[in-house]
């Protein structure tokens, strides 16, 4: 399992949810709101993307903020 924390001062919940929607065929995602962060847990990751999904997902979410 991988965990990514997105700072609420930088990311919107809408962007994080959109990223989850786009990546949902590669893994299971759970979003939890914490003080100041959106925590995304990624599990049951497709083996073909296991080594890159965390970085690619975070980059995609960041790109949605522009």
Count of structural domains within the chain:
1
Instruction: For residues 3 and 39, give the distance between their C-alpha atoms in angstroms, rounded to a whole number.
Output: 7
Domain at 59, CATH number: 3.30.70
Structural domain span for residue 51 = 2-63
Q: Is the pTM of this model over 0.95?
A: no
User: DSSP secondary-structure letter at 46?
Assistant: -
Residue 18 tokens read as 């959109």
Residue-wise pLDDT for 38-51, tens only, equals 999 999 999 999 99
Residue-wise pLDDT for 6-35, tens only, equals 999 999 999 999 999 999 999 999 999 999
- Contacts of residue 43, defined as CB under 8 A and 6 or more positions apart, other chains included, come to 1, 2, 27, 28, 30
């Amino acid at each position: 399992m991988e965990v990514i924390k997105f700072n609420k001062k930088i990311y919107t919940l809408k962007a994080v949810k959109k990223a989850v929607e786009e990546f949902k065929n590669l893994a299971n995602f759970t979003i939890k709101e914490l003080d100041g962060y959106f925590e995304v847990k990624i599990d049951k990751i497709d083996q073909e993307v296991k080594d890159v999904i965390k970085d690619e997902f975070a980059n995609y979410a960041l790109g949605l903020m522009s």
